[in-house]
Structure 1
């Protein structure tokens, strides 16, 4: 997909119409998941099935191999960040989220993940910054707005 289409979807995330925003969100996720074609998508699906089955080490191995083969596949890094976050390995998750944002600076999911990691580590100021960056991309995101308020309360 060309950058004009992506830019249009990013603008749609700021639309007051919830239906327009939801459509743009789904389409961006689809683009990110399909970045490396069907092979990459199938590998991510396999890792998710392993994660759902509680086979964390196997899921991590699958994602590690995918990242090694395709280090510019942002969603592979993002899925591993989710796996690490789920395992309470917040520093590892944070590093993977940062890698996603290096590859796709507008990846609101990774920015949200960074905020969650910082909050879990008690670094509420950094969490707020990450959630605010996500809100710049998705200004109607109620979850990020709520998390900013929660982190602000923890600081004060």
Structure 2
């Protein structure tokens, strides 16, 4: 039997990040893999009590967790995660980081020892990408694991 893999999914609740999750469920995640939903929040929302996520991750559906950490609950996301957990017996956890998404996603790859990371692409044009920077481009260039960008 193959070793369970740890697969990270960059999540910001956008349609593109949900498409990335759906792609990973349909094409990548296998029985008993570990799925880590990685949320990167603004440093302005950095709560003093973030230790729970820093050490262990959390189940986002636990009562009060979303509210405590300033995370918007999303029933569509929860349904997708419930399905993959039930259908493929995958373990699902969430990790929340505060700061620059480019840096924090690369940090998460190393800290969580991810085998793979899946991100959505906002599809910025060339000019916007130069002005705003591209999280996915940065992560592809700097992450120490395989990165899949889903358009």
TM-score (norm 2): 0.32
Identify the structure with the greater helix proportion: 1
**Greater Rg over alpha carbons, structure:** 1
Bigger strand fraction = 2
TM-score norm. by structure 1 comes to: 0.32
